[in-house]
Amino acid sequence: MEPVRNTNATLVDLLDRILDKGLVIYADVIVSMAGIPLIGINLRAAVAGMETMLKYGVMVDWDEKARAWEKDNRREKKSEVSSIGSRKVVLNRRSQVAREKNRSEMRIDCPES
């Protein structure tokens, strides 16, 4: 099968990447503002009516287990540390804290359908 790029489903895939991923810069010259992590959340909900929660509660544990298994599997690779890691972390909308916030607010934002 050939990879696809231009469908509604791929748009969600792309949004996840552009909004949550990419190169992270830890420096005090990054512009930030409270509440900025919220950008795109409504958009994602609007595009696909989806959120990070799983439809079947039964699968939640399993999903976590599966990911834990995969993590263990590549633990040996974990020693790879970037030079950026030791740098000063300042207000940065793409910081881990912001991401977690993003996720938890996302859950609240999108009621179960």
Partner 1 sequence: MSDDNKPGVVSTNDVKVEGEDEARYLYCVADSSAKANLGRIGLDGQEVFTIPFGDLCAVVHVCPSAPYKSDDNEVVKRWVMTHEKVVEAAWERFDTILPVGFDTIIKGEEDITPEENIRKWLEQDYAGLKEKMNKTRGKAEYGIQVFWDPEFIAGEIAKTNQEIRDINQDINSKPKGIAYMFKHKLGNILKKEMEKRADLCFKDFYARIKECTDEIKVEKTKKADEEKQMLMNLSCLIDRKKSGELGEELEKINKEEGFTVRFTGPWPPYSFVALG
In the complex, the residues that contact partner 1 under the rule CB under 8 A are: 1-5, 9-10, 13-25, 27, 29-33, 35-36, 39-40, 42-43, 46-47, 50-56, 58-59, 61-63, 65-67, 69-71, 82-85, 87, 93-94
Cα(36)–Cα(79) distance, integer angstroms: 32
Phi-psi region of 35 (alpha: psi -120 to 50; beta: other; left: phi over 0): left
The residue written with tokens 């590549």 in the block is 74
**CB-nearer residue toward partner 1: 47 or 101:** 47
HSE-CB for 5 with a 13 A CA cutoff: 0
CB of 105 to partner 1, least distance (A): 15
35 or 76, CB closer to partner 1? Answer: 35
Query: Nearest CA to 100 among 30, 52, 55?
Result: 52
Minimal distance in Å, beta carbon 47 to partner 1?
A: 8
Minimum CB distance to partner 1, residue 37 (Å): 10
Contact present, 101 and 37 (Cβ < 8 Å): yes
For partner 1, the closer CB: 13 or 97: 13
